[in-house]
Structure 1
Amino acid sequence: MAKKKDEKTNVMRILDQKKVPYTPHFYEEGEGPEGTREYGVHVAQALGQDPERAFKTLVAKGASGGYYVFDIPAPDSLDLKKAAKAAGEKSVELLAVKDITAVTGYVRGGCSPVGMKKAYPAIFHETALEHETIYISAGKIGAQVEVDPKALLALLRAGTADIVVPR
């Protein structure tokens, strides 16, 4: 039996359980531009969203062996040196695509900071708190949730920092 496009994801169920209000948004899965920056902007534009409010989730491994979750606006690139400093690590390296599912439980393009296999330390770009709501992946390609960043950061026990490459 085929799943309905608007079926609740685990991310939505967790937000419901934790009483964090959200608005689901769905888009057609399809070929977007290559690269996470271009794809994130493409998805935001397809949904009529401001790309600055659409946050993409990136996972990195620190020099100590620990994993970290970084959420940044779709048009931006993660500054690995700033990210390492924010995480208290000597250095961090983005996870290889082949390792994303094993570490997070999500596939590339559908990675969400909510509901990963383990609760890794999360750091959002400081601009997240400048918006009334932001968009994050709902845990699968084709779905996003719009959520209050303060409530999301509280749920994840996440911090904020300047972690992007200057434009």
Structure 2
Amino acid sequence: MGKEVKTNAMRILDKNKIPYEILNYECGEFIDGLHTAEATGAPVEQSFKTLVMQGKSRQYYVFVIPIADEVDLKAAARAVGEKSVEMIHVKDITAITGYVRGGCSPLGMKKQFPTIVHESAAAFDKIYISGGRIGTSITVNPDSLLTVVRGQYADVIRHE
């Protein structure tokens, strides 16, 4: 078998000496987080998706939330000190982050944006996030992830 091709996300974890596991899965195009968890056998409650939003100030923010949940825009805005935030357009993902839809990791974007990880991640010793390309997930300790992205925990999901 050939050598694993590292993504920016993996290089950053290596540089910071943070252990992680790589999970590859067959996938030709974008699939949502629930299907990714199914493909990798990852527990849904430990699987997180990466959302990129823009605040009223035009600043970009990264939100890492459970795959089965939806972001609460008001809570997200409060967490980053903005009046409001909105999702960036799918067509802008690559230009802003350097990643493609379905392969967007909170690690290794073109720039380090303020990052919020949903507080439920703190309950686990490892969470599953995008590895930086379609077909690759990585597991990482959530506290270690926060340290590297200089992020914080907050409750930014919708509660019905």
- TM-score computed with the length of structure 2 as normaliser: 0.95
Q: Select which of 50, 55, 59 maps to 2:48.
A: 55
Deviations 1:8-28, CA, capped at 9 Å, x for gaps: 222111111110110111001
Q: What amino acid maps onto 1:122 in structure 2?
A: T
Contact 1:6 1:26 in 2 (8 A): no
Deviation at 1:97? 0.3
Q: Select which of 128, 138, 143 maps to 1:135.
A: 128
User: Partners in 1 of 2:63 and 2:50 — Cα distance?
Assistant: 6
Task: Answer yes or no: is 1:83 the counterpart of 2:83.
Answer: no
Q: What amino acid maps onto 2:20 in structure 1?
A: Y
Structure 1: 5+ residue stretches without partners = 34-38
Structure 2: 5+ residue stretches without partners = none
CA RMSD of aligned residues (A): 1.4
Q: Number of residue pairs matched?
A: 159
User: Partners in 2 of 1:23 and 1:155 — Cα distance?
Assistant: 16
Other-structure match for 2:66? 73
Other-structure match for 2:159? 166
Runs of 4+ in 1 over 4 A off after TM superposition: none
Other-structure match for 1:93? 86
Other-structure match for 1:36? none
Identity %: 55
User: Partners in 2 of 1:100 and 1:108 — Cα distance?
Assistant: 7
- TM-score computed with the length of structure 1 as normaliser: 0.91
User: Partners in 2 of 1:31 and 1:75 — Cα distance?
Assistant: 20
Other-structure match for 2:13? 15
